[in-house]
C-alpha cells in the first residue's frame, strides 16, 4: 500500500498566525517543528496500518519547510516548488492520500489563515465554492486516489464534511479568528492524527471511503479582489471575463481546469493601489 501525505502549514497544530508560517518570521522555526510533529504522526499511523511506501509532499509556499532529518526515515520527502500541482506531487503513484495541516477556503468565518492559494481570490469548480482541500481532493480523485484523512482547525473539518463526509477529520485547534487559535498539545494532536490515520486506512480497505470526483467538462470560475487582476487573468486562452472581477474557463477535465486556475494566478498581479 502506497500513501501520499500532503502537508500544508496553516492548519498545523499550534499554528495561530502568520508568524508561524512565513520564512524568517518570529515563530517560523517553531512552526516547522510543529509541522514535522503532525506529519510524523500521520506517517506512524500509516505504517502501523500496513503502508509499505510513503511519500510526504511539502505543500506550503516554496515546499522547503519540512526537514528531512526530522522526519521518520521510512518516508520519502518531496520538496521544492517547480512542479505541476505542487501541493500533491506524487499523487499519481499512490493508492491513497492524507492531507495534514490544511486550512479553510478564503472568506470562512473563524478559520486560521483562511485563503485559497492567495488571499486575493475565490474559486468555484462546477458551481461549488472550493478551497485547496476540495481542489486537491478532486485532482486525486481524477487519478482514482481517495483522500482518507484531513487535519486542521474546526472550520477545515466543517468544509471537508461538505464534500467528503466519509473521510476522517482531525481537529487539532479551535480558531478564535483568522489569527488566533486554541491548540491541543503536540502530544494530543499526534495521538489523534496517528489513530485517525490507522482508522482511515482500515475504513478504505473496507470500502467506506471512495475517490471524490466532479463532472466533465469542468467550469473554473475565479473572482478576484480587483478588476485589473481579472483583466490580466482573462488573457489566458479560452478564459472569459464575465464581470469586472470574475473570469471563467471551461476545460475538458479537472486537471486541465486546475492548470487553467494556476495559470490565471500567475497572470494576475495585484497593483499597489
In eight-state DSSP terms, residue 104 is P
Q: Which three cell numbers stand for residue 39?
A: 506529519
CA dist 50 and 202 (Å) reads: 10
- Rounded to whole angstroms, the Cα distance separating 141 from 254 reads 10
Cα-trace Rg, the chain = 18
C-alpha span between 122 and 220 (Å, rounded): 11
- Under a CB-based contact definition with an 8 Å cutoff, are residues 106 and 122 in contact? yes
- Is 60 noted as a catalytic residue in this protein? no
Q: Find the length of the chain.
A: 273
- Nearest 10 degrees: CA dihedral of 138, 212, 114, 30? -90
Specify whether the CB–CB gap between 11 and 118 falls below 8 A: no
73 C-beta neighbours (distance < 10 Å), count: 8
Catalytic residue among 60, 91, 103, 115: 115
Nearest C-alpha neighbor of 72 from the set 151, 7, 157, 140: 7
Catalytic residues: 115
Amino acid at each position: 500500500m502506497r500513501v501520499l501525505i500532503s502537508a500544508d502549514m496553516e492548519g498545523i497544530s499550534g499554528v495561530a498566525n502568520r508568524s508561524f508560517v512565513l520564512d524568517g518570521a518570529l515563530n517560523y522555526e517553531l512552526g516547522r517543528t510543529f509541522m514535522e510533529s503532525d506529519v510524523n504522526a500521520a506517517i506512524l499511523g500509516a505504517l502501523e496500518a500496513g503502508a509499505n511506501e510513503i511519500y510526504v509532499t511539502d505543500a506550503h509556499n516554496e515546499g522547503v519547510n519540512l526537514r528531512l532529518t526530522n522526519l521518520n526515515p521510512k518516508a520519502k520527502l518531496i520538496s521544492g516548488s517547480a512542479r505541476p500541482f505542487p501541493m500533491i506531487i506524487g499523487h499519481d503513484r499512490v493508492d491513497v492520500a492524507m492531507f495534514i495541516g490544511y486550512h479553510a477556503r478564503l472568506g470562512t468565518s473563524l478559520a486560521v489563515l483562511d485563503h485559497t492559494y492567495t488571499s486575493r481570490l475565490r474559486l468555484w469548480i462546477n458551481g461549488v465554492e472550493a478551497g485547496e482541500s476540495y481542489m486537491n481532493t478532486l485532482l486525486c480523485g481524477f487519478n482514482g486516489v481517495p483522500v482518507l484523512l484531513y487535519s486542521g482547525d474546526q472550520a477545515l473539518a466543517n468544509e471537508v464534511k461538505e464534500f467528503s463526509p466519509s473521510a476522517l477529520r482531525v481537529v487539532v485547534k479551535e480558531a478564535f479568528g483568522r489569527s488566533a487559535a486554541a491548540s491541543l498539545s503536540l502530544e494530543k494532536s499526534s495521538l489523534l492524527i496517528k489513530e485517525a490515520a490507522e482508522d482511515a486506512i482500515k475504513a478504505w480497505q473496507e470500502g467506506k471511503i471512495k475517490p471524490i470526483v466532479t463532472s466533465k467538462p469542468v467550469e473554473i470560475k475565479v473572482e478576484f479582489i480587483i478588476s485589473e487582476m481579472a483583466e490580466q487573468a482573462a488573457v489566458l486562452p479560452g478564459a472569459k471575463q464575465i464581470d469586472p472581477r470574475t473570469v471563467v474557463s471551461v476545460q475538458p477535465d479537472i486537471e486541465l481546469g486546475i492548470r487553467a486556475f494556476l495559470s490565471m494566478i500567475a497572470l494576475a498581479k495585484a497593483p499597489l493601489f
